[in-house]
Amino acid sequence: MGRESYSLHIFFFPFLSHGHMIPMVDMAKLFASRGVKSTIVTTPVNASLISKAIGKSKTHNNNNIHIETIEFPCSKAGLPEGCENGDLIPSPDKFPVFFLATRLLQEPFEKLLLQHKPDCVVADVFFPWATDSASMVGIPRIVFNGTGLFSMCAIECMRLYEPQKNVSSDSEPFVIPNLPGEIKMLRTQLPPASITGETNPLTEFFKEANESEGECYGVVVNSFYELESVYADYSRNGLGRKAWLIGPLSLCNKDTEEKSQRGKDASIDENECLKWLDTKKPNSVVYICFGSIANFEDSQLREIALGLEASGQDFIWVVKNNKKEGESKEEWLLEGFEKRMEGTGLIIRGWAPQVLILGHQAIGAFVTHCGWNSTLEGVAAGVPMVTWPMGAEQFYNEKLVTEVLKIGVPVGVKKWARMDKVSVEWEAIEKAVKKIMVGEETEEMRMKANVLSQLANAAVENGGSSYSDLGALIHELLSLRH
Ligand code: UDP
């Protein structure tokens, strides 16, 4: 590994949710491996998760990686004590409260900046105020947006041209203007506020976050050039964004321990899980997981169970803890389901060691909600996907996977429903799973996914595109300092 800079010091400040913290911790590890002193700023509850994830990196990288904690005043914000992460929010109505409360981090963050005087801040897009904080101490602020460049470009084109306003019905598709690839969407696949024009503190918050992206020094992206070259070029030349593509970040985790220590403690012993997979043939198991936040109603979980059983495929299914308080059994669990599926299906209740599972040769497909981390982890592992987007920018990621990269099939969701349940019936699940596992196009998709996996791995190797982009960024930051 190159060690470009022994003295550069960067603050990494991820948003308080696993989908943002996990890649940014990987990013800090990556910078540390190139000789940069990396400090992750977070709150106490998240610090204990992160300290496990960086354990190994600390010894490997000359103690170059550190954590600094700042308090998140939950009760002042109207949140339960300890509610410091998106997955701890007690009910959907508290989401806006949580997002807006993160502004309270500005003051303690600025105190830390003054105390440590780093050379640069890489702060999450959801901390738009961090640009002012960085300029207060005279250093550049780089944004980490958490998504890929295809969706960033799509969102910017949508913001500029608002094509959804020119269609007269929910079923009339529109093309995203100026975005390469003739990408068609339905207006129901967008957040409702972008159609109604409604504004509230949360829509203002996201608007501000979007705008701050254009005002910062540049953007670091968890992606690699070969995956989205058309959109990387468009972003740089067409939209004038300064972007460094330095991913897939998950690939910085090399061994079983590192791969299974991302995010929360896994709810299954990783060796048990690998042993189960070892008994299966290559490409014969479907992995189903919907990220760190999305939760389904019992009725939707039952549809998934029926669909999986009908597909006849082996599976690992990650189910968030859905047992309501006071319930003695899981209402969603079909009578006798686990018994019938013994040997065929493994249910992980809670948190799965996702990157470890995806990297096993037995995994043949991934049913995903198209969160960007999951999508890219699927790409890096060379696994075709069934796409089941729910909210955020996930509908754009679905387009990238199914129409641009052509390594997935949609389950057929037409409606954006942030943190809500989207009803997909078991027949559609069965059909999509069969199509991805044993359909006519399976082999072709698998081949394409394999090529992308090879390109992903090459990109992060010495001399690869992401390796070089990271080196270029470090040199630029050093030259700014001198
Ligand atoms: N993840 C995991 N185990 C789980 C659920 C999620 O390791 O059981 C990880 C996953 O590998 C990814 C992140 O959590 O790195 C989820 O991020 P993503 O962007 O896919 O979705 P989000 O959680 O933000 O909706």
Q: Is 124 a catalytic residue?
A: yes
Q: Which atom of ligand 1 is nearest to the CA of 250?
A: 15
**Rounded Cα gap, residues 237 and 229, in angstroms:** 12
Q: What is the pLDDT of residue 295?
A: 82
Fold of 9-153+189-251+460-480: Rossmann fold (3.40.50)
User: pLDDT category, 421, cuts 50, 70, 90?
Assistant: low
Predicted-assembly ipTM surpassing the 0.90 threshold: yes
Q: Is the pLDDT of residue 82 over 90?
A: yes
- List the CATH code of the domain at 264-457: 3.40.50.2000
**Lowest-confidence range among 20-29, 50-59, 362-371?**
50-59
Per-residue model confidence (pLDDT) at position 101: 94
- Band (pLDDT 50/70/90 cuts) for residue 434 is very high
Of residues 326 and 406, more confidently modeled: 406
Indicate the pTM of the whole model: 0.95
Pocket test for ligand 1, best of 99, 145, 292, 363 (most atoms within 8 A of CB): 292
Q: What was the pLDDT predicted at 155?
A: 92
**43-81: pLDDT as tens digits:** 999 999 899 888 876 667 667 999 999 999 998 889 999
Q: What percent of the chain has pLDDT over 90?
A: 75
Q: Report the separation in Å between the CA atom of 88 and the middle of ligand 1, taken as the mean of its atom positions.
A: 15
- Altogether, the residues listed in the chain come to a count of 482
Asked, colleague to colleague, whether 9-153+189-251+460-480 and 264-457 share their fold, the answer is yes
Which atom in ligand 1 lies closest to the alpha carbon of residue 318?
A: 8
SS3 (DSSP) at 284: coil
Of ligand 1's atoms, which has the minimum distance to the CA of residue 368? 20
* pLDDT at 3 > cutoff 60: no
Residues with CB under 6 A from ligand 1: 18-19, 22, 262-263, 289, 291-293, 318, 351-352, 354-355, 371-374, 377
Q: What average pLDDT score do residues 113-121 get?
A: 97
Q: What is the mean pLDDT of residues 244-262?
A: 93
Report the distance separating Cα 56 and Cα 52, nearest Å: 8
Express each pLDDT in 336-365 by its tens digit.
Answer: 899 999 999 999 999 999 999 999 999 999
Which is catalytic among the residues 20, 66, 360, 369?
20
Helix, strand, coil distribution of the chain in percent, nearest 5: 50, 15, 40
Domains of the chain by residue range: 9-153+189-251+460-480, 264-457
From the list 18, 26, 66, 124, the catalytic residue is 124
Cis peptide before 248 (omega within 30 of 0): yes
Determine what percent of the chain is predicted with pLDDT higher than 70: 95
**Rounded alpha-carbon distances, angstroms, from residue 147 to 44, 248, 369:** 26, 11, 14
Task: Give the angle 367-350-67 at the CA atoms, nearest 5°.
Answer: 105
- Residue 323's pLDDT band, with cuts at 50, 70 and 90, is low
**pLDDT recorded at residue 419:** 46
Confidence of residue 331 (pLDDT cuts 50, 70, 90): confident
Q: pLDDT tens, 136-154?
A: 999 999 999 999 999 999 9
d(CA 357, CA 467): 25
- Listing DSSP states for 24-75 in one string gives HHHHHHHHHHTT-EEEEEE-HHHHHHHHHHTHHHHHHTTT-EEEEE----HH
Q: What burial class does residue 210 get, using C-beta atoms within 10 Å of its C-beta: 0-12 exposed, 13-18 middle, 19+ buried? A: middle
Ligand 1, closest atom to CA 377?
11
Q: Is the pLDDT of residue 197 over 90?
A: no
* Atom 17, ligand 1: residue with shortest CA distance: 19
The per-residue pLDDT for 324 is 61
Band of pLDDT at residue 476, cut at 50, 70 and 90: very high
